[in-house]
């Protein structure tokens, strides 16, 4: 049952996509990419900064997955990135899904909604990343790369 | 200055700091918790210069240097002019590498007399959070004292004794099940290993293997594929040492007596020569290795013993001396990898049976990244000769039941009852629409009775009996395991908590945190039930809600507590566990009565309880880090509560909401809602819900019939006969 009297419903552009696979693709992209075209136009400086931070975060994640980085640094990066993502999403994609995750209802997100969304989503992405890297042997591979030695913390 | 004034000026952050300071100042540090141990304890030949050997071996007056593999010291007593062997003293971390709940070993010193009877046990160091601040040190002492007088070869388990199976049961420590199960394994395995080594316990005899006449030579890959050659790798990160891009050790190994395997590895002439040298009951193994470390080590140079490798075949452990070693110059099997180190080792024991599984164990020192202290670590790989090389195939092997499975079997009734409680609660909640339709604001029995029953069962059965109170400490442990080292057995060791968490994961995603927090949390149930009872006993006129502006500020406090705990846990689990005492759960359920705790805990618990008699669930609303953690995923629960368009102007539900989860615009805060169902009762109550009440009065005056209330919370509209056709 849809809740009435909740923050105003909002529909991201892709929510009206009828084809299931395309919609799933858009949703995955929506979760992974916090910026919107609208956001790009308004936040060029932030976008550039974001891309830099994103790249650093990717490297830190890889190192962390390989067990080559301290837990403190890893959690700091995770939190840092999440905070940054919250700020970007507040401008670019200020909505979260309402009701079942397989549904197509969205609502306008307040700050607490966005924080919860980013924290929970990034936790799930982190879990998925670790499990996938473990399963596919990427951890072993990374540990055997002397080229990464200079990056070890 | 009244309480309102005080809180209003203190602010949420200061209140948080005040509580953290209160918790951290609580004087309850256990004496062996993270006790600093001298580094020589794990390596110095004179163990008893650094460990209280006399305490575990009363009556002994002198001790030998460390000896044997695994190591122990002999205890002596002067009898006249002669010195008699009196017993043995050994350190658990010299023998086994079994991490406890904290992921770190419980360093235990044991004494055993010459008949194999344990004479004393002393825990020198542990890192178990529950024993730090939840359970007094005396409980731990009482637990380990149960081992005194037990034979090293006895079957000792936590739980009830089972005379028909020869099992001796020990009393556990309530609330520390995982820790005591682990410590039981540590103590009994250590005692057995030393008793076996010094000859107190006889060898377990197994029939010797008879090999099939298979002689077809196989290449390296074929040997790997069929399991005749096994592989064991240890990475630098597993030992806390810096990586060089190479494994720490990367070993291939196998059993050479089997003709087909031996001939394939050594080549026919070398294998024939080797077998000719072996006497009956002797077995040959090969090892080749790469990596930065050596499997030979340097111990054999000084003491003639290879101290980095062992062969284990439960319950026996075999080590090798320099006289058991032969050079291995080459591998005959095509496709074998290049290697840096190699050797053939001869095991001289009739107790070893090649037809049964065995393990190669690599021993190393692990460096704690935080403290840089060294601890003993072992890495194993199982080897079982393929059945095609054994006459009659592989024998049937009865592997011992995993400890966690044993616990599940022991607690099957409790698990079943808990599942029944969860199923019943979820069913009741799923049928909430039917229940709230039958209830009214004046008679809420259809909703209240199931809730009261659930609260009572949760407090009595789940909380006090089952000690299954979910806690933020479990979330922290789970997060750390996920990042660092996931161990299923750690979570399976406490079945009630394990089952509870699955229920929480599922229901938080479906309905939000309210079903757990509002219905099934033992402490939350106790808080709410005591609030209701206090009201019924005459305190109702003193009960009140905090003003919404204060509530709206204070409710963020719990998120701050949660975030702080998570952040601190990545710096130090120990400190985080201490700070997690902000939860009064241990005091309430886990320690057998809050009065058993130090006075600051009693004061804190009493304060929360007393305030809770006047304000509904103050801890759940403002402090609970677990509730805050669950609110994060609960924000995106699948199914919420029903609301009407008029709810934005009408404040009837808001006034009745004990959780203060409905704002002035009539929006339910899904993070704060505890699913008390008050607003849903009003939703269908045509004497209380203003839109329904107005419509009821209008129809009464007009003499119109009262149609049923539809799922949208309104009367089904009255349509004139024939309207359908016209439409």
Q: How far apart are CA B683 and CA A123, in angstroms?
A: 37
Instruction: Kindly report the nearest CA distance between residue A44 and chain B, in angstroms.
Output: 31
| Contact assignment for A152 to B567 by CB distance below 8 Å | no
B719 located within any domain: yes
CB hemisphere CA count around B78 (13 angstroms): 4
Mutate to test the interface with B, among A67, A79, A145 (most CBs of B within 10 A): A67
Phi, psi of B276 (to 5 degrees): -65, -30
CB B77 within 8 A of CB B83: yes
Residue A150 tokens read as 């200079």
Do B491 and B358 lie in one domain? The reply is no
- C-alpha to C-alpha distance for A87 and A118, rounded to whole angstroms: 10
Residue B504: per-residue pLDDT: 97
Say how many domains are in chain B. 4
Q: Inter-chain contact A6–B671, Cβ cutoff 8 Å?
A: no
Same domain, residue pair B415 and B343: no
Q: How far is A43 from chain B (nearest CA, A)?
A: 28
Last residue of a domain, one of B609, B641, B673: B641
Of B237, B239, B243, B368, which to mutate for an interface test with A (greatest number of A Cβ within 10 Å)? Answer: B243
Nearest CA in chain A to B509: A100
| CA torsion through residues B53, B57, B59, B65, sign | negative
CB contact under 8 A, B636 and A72: no
Q: Verify whether the Cβ–Cβ distance B243 to A71 is below 8 Å.
A: no
Cα B331 to Cα A57: distance, rounded to the nearest angstrom? 46
Any idea what DSSP says for residue B582?
G
Chain B residue at shortest CA distance from A144: B245
Rounded Cα gap, residues B605 and B69, in angstroms: 50
Residues B175, B36: one domain? yes
Separation of alpha carbons A75 and A61, rounded Å: 10
Bridge partners for B251 per DSSP: B232, B289
**Interchain proximity A68–B237, CB inside 8 Å:** yes
Cis? peptide before B699, omega within 30° of 0: no
Report the residue from B243, B369, B648 with minimal CB separation from A149: B243
- Note the ipTM here: 0.82
Distance of alpha carbon B525 from the chain centroid: 25
If DSSP states are collapsed to H, E and C, what string results for B52-78? CHHHHCCCCCEECCCECCCCEEEEEEE
Q: DSSP secondary structure string, chain A?
A: ---SSSSPB---GGGG---HHHHHHHHHHHHH----HHHHHH-HHHHHHHHHHHHHHHHHHHHHHTT-S-HHHHHHHHHHHHHHHHHHHHHH--EEE-SSTTS--EEE--HHHHHHHHHHHHHHHHHHHHHHHHHTTHHHHHHT-GGGGGG--
Same domain flag for B619 and B570: yes
Q: CB distance A99–B638 less than 8 Å?
A: yes
- The torsion of the CA quartet B577, B579, B585, B588, rounded to 10 degrees, works out to 110
Asked if residue B490 belongs to a domain, the reply is yes
Chain A nearest-CA residue for B510: A100
Q: Which residue of B has its CA nearest to A98?
A: B636
In chain A, the percentage of residues whose pLDDT exceeds 70 is: 63
* pLDDT, average across residues A111-137: 86
| Contact assignment for A5 to B647 by CB distance below 8 Å | yes
Angle of CA points B34, B38, B42, to nearest 5°: 100
Query: Domain check: are B356 and B489 in the same one?
Result: no
State which residue of chain A sits closest to B239, comparing Cα positions: A67
Nearest to B567 among A3, A75, A127 (CB): A75
Residue of B nearest to A127 (CA): B482
Supply the DSSP string of B462-531, one letter for each residue. Answer: IIIIT-----HHHHHHHHHHHHT---HHHHHTSHHHHHHHHHHHHHHHHH-THIIIIII-HHHHHHHHHH
Which residues in A lie closer than 8 A to residue B291 (C-beta atoms)?
A: none
Q: What is the pLDDT of residue B314?
A: 76
Tell me the shortest Cα–Cα distance from B264 to chain A, in angstroms: 30
Nearest residue of A to residue B640, measured between CA atoms = A3
Identify whether B207 is part of a domain: no
Which residues of B have a CB under 8 Å from any CB of A?
Answer: 235-237, 242-247, 369, 482-484, 566-567, 570-571, 631-633, 635-636, 638-645, 647-648, 665-668, 671, 711
User: In angstroms, what separates the C-alpha of B185 from chain A's closest C-alpha?
Assistant: 29
pLDDT score recorded for residue B347: 93
Tell me which residues of chain A have a C-beta less than 8 Å from any C-beta of chain B: 1, 3-7, 64, 66-68, 70-72, 74-75, 79, 96-97, 99-101, 112-113, 116-117, 119-120, 127, 130, 140, 143-146, 149, 152
Residue to test with chain B: of A1, A2, A3, A5, most B Cβ within 10 A: A5
B237 to A145: CB separation less than 8 angstroms, yes or no: no
Cβ separation B645–A5 shorter than 8 A: yes
Q: What distance in Å separates residue A20's CA from the closest CA in chain B?
A: 20
How many other C-beta atoms can be found within 10 angstroms of the C-beta atom of residue B598? 13
Give the minimum alpha-carbon distance from B721 to chain A in angstroms, rounded to a whole number. Answer: 30
Based on the domain organization, do B185 and B292 belong to the same domain? no
> What is the number of other CB atoms lying within 10 angstroms of the CB of residue B440?
17
B626: in domain = yes
Tell me which chain B residues have a C-beta less than 8 angstroms from the C-beta of A112: 635, 671
Q: How many CB pairs under 8 A join A and B?
A: 92
Q: A71 vs B642: CB contact, 8 Å cut-off?
A: no
Q: Are residues B365 and B489 in the same domain?
A: no
Which residue, among B245, B291, B505, B634, would best test binding to A if mutated, counting the most A CBs under 10 Å from its CB? Answer: B245
For residue A3, give the nearest of B640, B665, B711 by CB distance. B640
Indicate if B184 and B304 belong to the same structural domain: no
- Judge whether B379 lies within some domain: yes
Query: Are residue B114 and residue B177 in the same domain, yes or no?
Result: yes
Residues B111 and B241 in one domain: no
- pLDDT of B560: 95
Residue B567: list chain A partners with CB under 8 A.
75, 79
CB contact under 8 A, B645 and A130: no
Q: Is residue B647 part of a domain?
A: no
Give the dihedral of Cα atoms B473, B477, B483, B486; nearest 10 deg: -160
Task: Note the pLDDT of residue B592.
Answer: 74
| Cβ separation A127–B482 shorter than 8 A | yes
**Nearest C-alpha of chain B: how many angstroms from A71?**
6
Q: Which domain holds residue B694?
A: 690-726
Q: Determine the Cα–Cα distance for residues B583 and B605; give it in Å rounded to an integer.
A: 9
Query: Are the beta carbons of B283 and B354 closer than 8 angstroms?
Result: yes
pLDDT at residue A32 greater than cutoff 60: yes
User: Is B100 domain-assigned?
Assistant: yes
User: Same domain, yes or no, for B584 and B610?
Assistant: yes
Q: Where are the domains of chain A?
A: 13-151
* Average pLDDT for runs of 10 along chain B of length 727: 42 49 45 73 88 93 89 91 92 83 83 94 83 70 90 80 71 74 86 90 80 86 95 84 80 95 94 93 94 81 76 82 90 93 91 92 74 70 94 83 79 95 97 94 94 97 93 85 70 89 96 97 97 95 94 95 87 81 90 82 95 97 97 94 89 91 92 95 93 93 91 87 58
Contact call for A70 and B638, based on CB within 8 A: no
Same domain, B496 and B544: yes
Chain B residues touching A145 at Cβ < 8 A? 245
Contact between chains at A143 and B243 (C-beta distance less than 8 A): yes
């Amino acid at each position: 049952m849809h809740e009435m009297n909740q923050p105003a419903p909002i529909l991201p552009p892709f929510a009206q996509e009828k084809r299931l696979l395309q919609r799933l693709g858009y949703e995955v992209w929506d979760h992974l990419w916090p910026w919107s075209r609208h956001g790009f136009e308004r936040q060029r400086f932030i976008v550039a900064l974001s891309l830099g931070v994103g790249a650093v975060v990717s490297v830190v994640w890889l190192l962390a997955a390989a067990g080559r980085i301290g837990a403190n640094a890893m959690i700091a990066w995770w939190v840092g990135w999440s905070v940054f993502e919250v700020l970007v999403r507040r401008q670019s994609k200020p909505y979260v899904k309402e009701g079942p995750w397989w549904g197509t209802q969205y609502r306008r997100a307040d700050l607490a909604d966005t924080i919860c969304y980013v924290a929970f989503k990034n936790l799930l992405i982190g879990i998925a990343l670790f499990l996938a890297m473990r399963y596919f042997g990427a951890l072993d591979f990374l540990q055997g790369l002397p080229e990464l030695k200079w990056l070890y913390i | 200055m009244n309480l309102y004034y005080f809180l209003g000026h203190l602010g949420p952050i200061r209140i948080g700091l005040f509580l953290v300071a209160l918790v951290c100042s609580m004087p309850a540090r256990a004496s062996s918790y993270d006790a600093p141990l001298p580094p020589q304890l794990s390596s110095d030949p004179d163990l008893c210069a650094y460990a209280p050997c006399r305490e575990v071996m009363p009556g002994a007056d002198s001790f030998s240097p460390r000896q044997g593999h695994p190591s122990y010291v002999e205890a002596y007593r002067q009898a006249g002019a002669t010195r008699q062997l009196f017993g043995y003293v050994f350190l658990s971390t010299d023998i086994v590498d079994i991490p406890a709940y904290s992921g770190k070993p419980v360093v235990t010193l044991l004494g055993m007399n010459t008949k194999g009877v344990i004479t004393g046990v002393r825990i020198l160091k542990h890192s178990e959070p529950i024993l730090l601040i939840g359970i007094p040190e005396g409980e731990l002492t009482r637990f380990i004292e149960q081992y005194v007088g037990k034979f090293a070869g006895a079957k000792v388990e936590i739980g009830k004794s089972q005379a028909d199976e020869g099992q001796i049961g020990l009393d556990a420590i309530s609330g520390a099940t995982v820790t005591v199960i682990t410590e039981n394994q540590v103590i009994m395995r250590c005692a057995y290993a030393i008793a076996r080594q010094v000859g107190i316990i006889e060898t377990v005899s197994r029939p010797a293997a008879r090999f099939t006449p298979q002689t077809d030579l196989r290449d390296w890959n074929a040997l790997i594929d069929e399991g005749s050659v096994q592989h064991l790798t240890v990475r630098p990160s597993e030992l806390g040492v810096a990586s060089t891009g190479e494994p720490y050790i990367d070993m291939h190994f196998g059993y050479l007596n089997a003709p087909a395997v031996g001939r394939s590895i050594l080549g026919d002439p070398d294998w024939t020569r080797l077998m000719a040298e072996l006497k009956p009951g002797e077995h040959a193994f090969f090892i080749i290795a790469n990596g930065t470390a050596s499997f030979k080590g340097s111990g054999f140079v000084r003491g003639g013993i290879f101290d980095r490798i062992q062969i284990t075949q439960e319950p026996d452990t075999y080590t090798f001396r320099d006289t058991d070693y032969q050079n291995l110059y080459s591998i005959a099997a095509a496709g074998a990898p290049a290697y840096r180190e190699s050797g053939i080792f001869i095991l001289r024991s009739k107790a070893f049976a090649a037809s049964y599984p065995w393990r190669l164990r690599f021993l190393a020192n692990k460096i704690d990244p935080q403290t840089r202290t060294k601890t003993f670590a072992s890495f194993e790989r199982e080897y079982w000769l393929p059945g095609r090389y054994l006459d009659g195939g592989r024998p049937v092997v009865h592997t011992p039941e995993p400890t966690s499975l044993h616990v599940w079997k022991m607690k099957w009734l409790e698990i079943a009852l808990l599942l029944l409680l969860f199923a019943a609660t979820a069913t009741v909640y799923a049928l909430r629409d039917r229940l709230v339709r039958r209830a009214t604001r004046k008679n809420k029995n259809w909703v209240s009775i199931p809730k009261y029953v659930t609260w009572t069962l949760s407090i009595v059965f789940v909380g006090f009996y089952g000690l299954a109170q979910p806690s933020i400490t479990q979330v922290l442990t789970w997060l750390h395991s996920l990042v660092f080292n996931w161990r299923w057995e750690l979570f399976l060791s406490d079945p009630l908590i394990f089952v509870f968490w699955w229920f929480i994961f599922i229901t938080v995603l479906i309905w939000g945190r309210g079903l757990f927090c509002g219905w099934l949390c033992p402490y939350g149930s106790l808080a709410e039930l005591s609030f209701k009872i206090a009201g019924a006993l005459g305190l109702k006129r003193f009960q009140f809600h905090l003003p919404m502006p204060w509530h709206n500020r204070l409710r963020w406090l719990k998120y701050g507590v949660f975030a702080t705990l998570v952040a601190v846990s990545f710096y130090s689990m120990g400190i985080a566990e201490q700070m997690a005492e902000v939860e009064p759960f241990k005091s309430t359920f886990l320690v057998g009565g809050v009065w058993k705790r130090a006075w600051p805990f009693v004061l804190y618990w009493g304060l929360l309880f007393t305030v809770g008699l006047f304000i509904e669930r103050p801890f759940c609303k403002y402090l609970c880090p677990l509730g805050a953690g669950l609110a994060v995923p609960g924000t995106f629960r699948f199914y919420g509560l029903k609301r009407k368009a008029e709810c934005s102007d009408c404040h009837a539900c808001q006034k009745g909401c004990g959780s203060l989860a409905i704002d002035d615009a009539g929006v339910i805060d899904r993070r704060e809602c505890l699913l008390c169902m008050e607003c849903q009762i009003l939703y269908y109550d045509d004497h209380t819900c203003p839109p329904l009440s107005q419509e009821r009065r209008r129809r009464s005056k007009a003499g119109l019939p009262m149609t049923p209330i539809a799922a949208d919370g309104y009367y089904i509209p009255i349509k004139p006969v024939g309207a359908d056709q016209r439409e």
